[in-house]
A = this chain, B = another copy of it.
Amino acid sequence: MTDRVVLAYSGGLDTSVGIGWIAEETGAEVVAVAVDVGQGGEDLEQIRKRALACGAVEAVVADARDEFAEQYCLPALQAQALYMDRYPLVSALSRPLIVKHLVGAAKQYGATTVAHGCTGKGNDQVRFEVGIQALAPELRCIAPVRDFAWTREKAIQYAEDHDLPIETSKRSPYSIDQNVWGRAVETGFLEDIWNAPIEDVYAYTRNPAQPREPDEVVVRFENGVPVAIDGHRVTMLQAIQELNARAGAHGIGRLDMVEDRLVGIKSREVYEAPGAIALLTAHQELESVTVERDLARFRRTVSQRWTELVYDGLWFSPLKEALDSFVASSQEHVTGEVRMTLHGGRAVPTGRRSDASLYDFGLATYDAGDTFDQGLAKGFVQLWGLPSKIAASRAQRVSGVDR
């Protein structure tokens, strides 16, 4: 039987050309797999037809938007995943889902190899290949751009020589990856990190500097899952989509940063993730009210490690699984509502309410109704400070002088 290669297929020039190219280079049949994670653009059926027209023996397309929202974006929301305190892991979340579909297709169609179109200096090659090794250690990976020094110029030439049904003339100055959780943009002039982004790089968000009326939104969570917006029930996908629209209209979620890549270099990245940032803001606010202090403190350590792992391509690792268990436990009481004002690039919480609140008015108030027994504080303060006090006495004793 002829060997088969599953190709992560986008419908664009590079991977369309890749179908024939890989077949020629490897002698294998190519199965194209395209997954909709909310990146928008062309119809899946159109993509499927183009893959076949370009020579694929099979073309699999999947609408994975709900799967992506529920199984990838939601864990990231609950983990409060912000790489370097800012980046909500847009591309890093879609890669493992795509890997799952690639591996599924490889098994279904008897392929021995998986191919992807990533370069050798980015994070995505790691996310694809480590993911594939972790789901199907027997599969081989190839990355034509990296391994065979595939260039865009060669791709255009190939498409024209073979008369492939793909547009080759127009070239965006932007390198873009997008899905429902957000959008990443790289481009030449941003490689000078003193340059500011221009409005033209953004598509999910409007200019936050332009005056417009604020929007007010109430998000309801149950056990850490956003379930309603302004009182109407939503799925996770709908929650992101609605907030992409509403928060995007106010320029929320624009990020411009110098980022530490896994491969050891720093790179300039511009992102926009209006829905993600709005949801993360609301969720964090509700956690402030419903999560106990020590759990909240250690949760930061867990969130950081979770985020690093996912950024670093280790979605399917044993540690990620154990951290997921921790996060799931932490969400038990994250139930309630947060009211936010969306305006001028910011989602600002202005109110929170929850039946599972740990905020106790009686203990907090300084007015009538105060139930806090202040007499307990004296003993607490003295024992709390006792180690420092003993250390201070030691320092005086040892040095012979006061500190």
Chain A interface residues toward B at CB < 8 A: 84-85, 107, 119-121, 125-126, 129-130, 133-137, 143, 146-147, 149, 175, 186, 188, 191-197, 208-209, 211, 214, 256-260, 262-268, 284-285, 288-289, 291-301, 304-305, 308-309, 312-314, 316-319, 321-326, 328-330, 333, 335, 339, 343-346, 348-353, 355-361, 363-367, 370, 372-398, 402-403
Contact = CB atoms under 8 A, between A and B. Distances in A.
Contact of A359 (B188, B266, B285, B291): B266
A297 B288 contact: no
A-B CB proximity, top 7 nearest? A120-B374, A379-B379, A264-B386, A130-B385, A344-B344, A196-B350, A376-B379
Nearest to A350: B196
A130 B379 contact: no
A329 B333 contact: no
Contact of A133 (B147, B372, B388): B388
Given A266-B289, A321-B329, A358-B391, A260 B379 contact: no
Residue picked from A130, A313, A322, A333, most chain B C-beta under 10 Å: A322
Contacts of A84: 288, 296
Contacts of A147: 378
Contacts of A363: 121, 265, 390
Given A265-B390, A297-B304, A358-B390, A384 B130 contact: yes
